[in-house]
Amino acid sequence: MVTEAQVWDALAEIPDPEIPVISLVDLGVIRVVAIENGNVRIQVMLDDSWSTDKITAAGREKLRVSGFAPPAPRGATDLVQLNRAVFRCPYCGSTDTRLENIFGPTPCRSLRYCAACRQPFEQFKTI
């Protein structure tokens, strides 16, 4: 008999198609696992809009280690704030970063540059 914990462990291994360093569980996309009469049912909540606040702490750390700056808390950024807000470089931790381009490779990311270590990096926008 499969346990709920085993299902969650298996789901944690499924990478996001756009950002394979993070799983769908870490993104907070999969919210409910139910085992009923030997059947496993996985619910992706479609009636509850997803936001970057649903990314787990482990997921945020995986993003940072992979060179992505995790998103700021929801309600904390608009275009002006995105330009002047303090974002830490995922490589060196410096806050001496600047917005290079609000349009990144996907709509949920922007491009930033760290003046301290001279590395470009992607900043997840708060959604």
The reported pLDDT for the residue numbered 50 is 79
Q: Tens digits of per-residue pLDDT, 44-61?
A: 766 667 788 889 999 999
| Distance (Å, whole) CA 4 – CA 118 | 45
> Mind giving me the DSSP string for 68-84?
EEPPPPTTS--HHHHHH
Question: Above 70 in pLDDT, residue 77?
Answer: no
Who's near 39: CB < 8 A, 6+ residues apart? none
77 or 45, which is more confident: 45
pLDDT greater than 90 at residue 104: no
- pLDDT score for 87: 84
Q: How many domains, in total, are found in the chain?
A: 1
Q: Which domain holds residue 95?
A: 4-124
Radius of gyration from C-alpha coordinates of the chain: 17
